[in-house]
Amino acid sequence: MCDEKCQPVCDLSSQIFNSIPEFGGIMTKYKADNLIDCGEDMSRKIAKTASYRQPRYITVALSTLFIFSLFCSALLLFIIQPVVAKILLPIYGGTPSVWTICMLFFQTLLLLSYTYVWFLSKCKNKVWRLIHIGLVVLSMVYLPIHFIPERLNYLPEFSILAVLIKQIGIPLFLLGASAPLLQFIFVKIKNNPGANPYYLYTASNAGSLLALLSYPWLIERFYTVSQQFYFWNTVYFIYLFLLLVIFLLPTHIHSVIKIEHVSISLRQKIKWIWLSFLPCSLMMGVTFYISTDVAASPLFWVLPLSLYLLSFIITFSKKPVLRHEWVVRNSLFFLIFPLIGFVYGANQIIAWQIILANLASFFMMAMLCHGELVRTRPQPESLTTFYFCLALGGLLAGLFNGIVASYLFSNAYEYPLVFLLSLSAIPIKKRNNEWVGVSIASFLIILNYFLADVALLKWVENYHVLELVALAVLFIWVQSKRSFLTGMTLLFIFIFLPWFKKGDYLIQVRNFYGVKQVIHNEGTHILMSQSTAHGFQVVNQISQGDIAYYAPPAIAIKWLQEKNPKIKGIILGVGTGLMACQFRAQDSLSLVEVDEQVLSIAQTPRLFTYLRDCPPQKYIIKEDGRLAVVATPNNTFDALILDAFNSDAIPVHLLTKEAFAIYKQKITTGGVILVNISNRHLNLLPVVLGAGRGLDLIVLHQKDPGNLKRGQFSSEWVALTQNEELAFHMMRQNWSFVTKAEEMVWTDNYSNLIPLMKW
């Protein structure tokens, strides 16, 4: 039924539906203007009918052109991310924060690109075409791209951002604008009124996903960095050609689809930003969490980002594989896995459990947030605003994880904190007695804290019994979103804040290179990095050269000292400074450390006194280990000790074939390279063995159980030398000559962690 006002339009629509060929002559300006007042649904119906005239082959050709163009732009944008991050790793200490800052750069770029497209959408056709053509020409000035790593005289975070902007900013800005711009053009194409551009978003994400998954498994493995950039530059030129073809297409909108824009409330925009912020922050948080405990490697960078994009592809598809209703119902179930890991600590969980549990939970929360975005998405006319809000949420997440968190928090709290905040996206119905479950859980958590020092109840603390029961109560007795958030907040406080943990935290600091803690426990100061101990000192103990937390290196060093009145050594990684005690007063020792906070801790007498008390003449170099070694003359050192691992994370650039070739040049003919390969998650022996055999070095191995009574941790070491006399001496001291072990060669272009995992 039509009211009086809409009767002319109803009559008109009947004529259109009954006689499509006469469409062009029926519509009058008066009726077109009044069409707006008769409802959005009617105008869309007429627009859909009008588009029926377009031949199918044209529709298919247009869709293919736009899909392939978006696919290429997404492929280019995401394939360069792990490439440049990996190139930057060696000069920034191999820290996982390099990837986080690179993600901040790309998120900022996307926001600026989406803002740029929003500005273009307000311009006339000729104007926005000319502006974008100018940007295309400007981007070609940077071609061909060959990224060169630099370290500027800024804080490392800002140095990375400046280098990325300087070398690849403009071309990537152009690529970042592709998704919203091409969808904007798609809607405006002649004879394509009422087009739905959202499915193009799936094509864009598919290109991104292919780029990410192909990099660690295909591109990184079989192609050098120069070949990777050659491929990138070639595809970039193909994309520019496709963009030129699209720009030649006529674009205007029929008056028949002139639809009044619906005003979007500020509250809705904030919700979009929040729903974009949560999964993006979780993605960077879970990447940092996994990379810190395993390794800073493209493999562990692309897995979370791939799942992030996969959640977009699924939720934005016409028929999602996982329905949003199912995700909402089961989100809490998946959330419990990382929480149990947080309670127990990463040092009690093996690698695959850490990776699987955290990635599964992250994926479900990303599906939840992105599903809510799809459910509340606007009409195509407002897509630029929608994408702008998504990009702004991503930028805020990048700023929070990359900059704010490292200066605001003394530990990696952002990941569990955002997991806690992501609960706000779960719709939970309110019921009666909502505070009962929270009260029980709170009582158990507080009781756990006070029982920690009761000797007869140590099993309660050791197995986290009360914490796990409290967690179970919260999940079972979910009454409302408010009560659930309150209970989880209490659990977060007692699990993560150092004041509520066992042991006395003397210091807890964090910077670009990671988290460091010094704990006073049972008369001992222990240096912790994440979940790994990096040395300790008994309070008031007088340092002795024969007391070491790693015994195996002492065998080689003492032999060299017996043969030489004075030896030169270099240690990559300071830790507590205890390794310096292996050397005598007449020896010369260089200590290399990239993290100034580690140096500060080692040089603070109230924490550790090794650097103050141990006898050798010490030269401290604040630099990445590999870069510091490169800067020294050849044939300088009798002993080169590599102990530069942060937590259990592996700085891959220190273990490549090229790195060991440098080490070999810097030691004397009779010298030795000692590598600490102790690791809970990775078996690094094949990597060091492959590099050593490739350089014709004798490779020896020792796995020492340690002697805690003498202050020695269990450890695993590899020695590489050309000195046969030294090698025979070490074999008589329980070092073994490696014969049948598998070997693997890492290079600056390729490193694969999967075969080395201790599953």
> Domain spans of the chain?
7-48, 54-255+266-408, 435-500, 545-756
Please say if the pLDDT value at position 756 is more than 70.
Answer: yes
Q: Which two tokens stand for residue 108?
A: 């900022």
pLDDT at residue number 187: 73
> In this structure, which CATH number among 3.50.50.100, 2.130.10.10, 3.40.50.300, 3.40.50.150 belongs to the domain 545-756?
3.40.50.150
- pLDDT tier at 238, thresholds 50, 70, 90: very high
* 154 token code pair: 């800024």
- In tens, the pLDDT along 155-212 reads 888 999 999 999 999 999 999 998 888 877 877 775 554 556 666 766 777 788 888 8
Task: Tell me the mean pLDDT in the region 415-438.
Answer: 68
- Distance between CA atoms of residues 621 and 662, nearest Å: 18
What's the pLDDT at 533?
75
Residue 111, pLDDT > 70, answer: yes
Which pTM was predicted? Answer: 0.76
Q: What is the pLDDT of residue 263?
A: 78
Which two structure tokens, joined as six digits, stand for 329?
């119902």
User: pLDDT value at position 612?
Assistant: 87
- Identity of the residue numbered 538: V
The per-residue pLDDT for 27 is: 38
* Maximum mean pLDDT: which of 170-184, 353-367, 652-666: 652-666
How far apart (Å, rounded) are the C-alpha atoms in residues 465 and 467?
6
Report the distance separating Cα 181 and Cα 187, nearest Å: 10
Q: Report how far residue 24's alpha carbon sits from residue 14's, in angstroms, rounded to the nearest whole number.
A: 14
30 pLDDT tier (thresholds 50, 70, 90): very low
Lowest mean pLDDT, pick from 213-227, 437-451, 668-682: 437-451
**Per-residue tokens: 666:** 């810097």
Distance, CA of 298 to CA of 302 (rounded, Å):
6
Architecture field, domain 54-255+266-408: Up-down Bundle (1.20)
Q: Assess whether pLDDT exceeds 50 at residue 351.
A: yes
> Which residues are within 8 A (CB) of 646 and not within 5 positions of it... i.e. 6 or more apart?
94, 95, 292, 513, 514, 529, 530, 595
**What is the edge-to-edge ordering of all strands in the sheet holding 568-572?**
617-621, 588-592, 568-572, 637-642, 667-676, 715-721, 698-704, 736-737
- Helix ranges, 317-450 (H): 324-344, 351-375, 383-399, 405-408, 414-421, 435-450
Question: Are 54-255+266-408 and 545-756 equal in CATH topology?
Answer: no
